[in-house]
Amino acid sequence: MFDIVLYQPEIPPNTGNILRLAANSGCRLNLVKPLGFSITEAAVRRAGMDYAELAEVVVHENWTDCLSTLAGRRIFALSTRGRIRHDSVAYQPGDVFLFGPETSGLPEAVLAEIPSAQRLRLPMVPGNRSINLSNTVAILVFEAWRQNDFAGGA
């Protein structure tokens, strides 16, 4: 239904948790290299081991390859620098959700490729840095899925 894109993820347990979320929500998980770990790393396997075979995972060599694969689809970037609240968008099947590395977020050059109306943020208490990546992905995926009446879910 939706695609999740992790741009150069760094922390294996986050990716494992997101893999599990993708399997349980019917999303495809896209990983953009370079990755900060091996996909076979124990922490990724441990977090998503009983769901790995249920999720579709695509590994892209770079951002350009990922964009080419997802051409023609709406891409929403999640960033603390986004100006649009995540719950103010009407999501559609086929939408793509882009997230940056845990320690730095999306690079400005990548974020600049996304229209400003598609740069989203989650509300949070002022002065805090960010919400954990796997939590952020879960919040957005479930909001988009809720808006689509949890299509494909039981």
Measured N-to-C along each axis, helices 12-25 and 133-147 cross at an angle, to the nearest 10 degrees, of 10
Token pair belonging to 24: 């349980």
Distance CA 86, CA 96 (A): 13
Asked if residue 36 belongs to a known ligand binding site, the reply is no
Q: Three-class SS of residue 78?
A: strand
Q: By the 8 A CB rule, do 85 and 60 touch?
A: no
Q: By the 8 A CB rule, do 95 and 67 touch?
A: no
Return the DSSP state at 88: G
Token pair belonging to 43: 């922490």
Asked if residue 78 belongs to a known ligand binding site, the reply is yes
Asked if residue 122 belongs to a known ligand binding site, the reply is yes
Please state the residue numbers annotated as binding site.
78, 100, 122, 130
Please state the residue numbers annotated as binding site for S-adenosyl-L-methionine.
78, 100, 122, 130
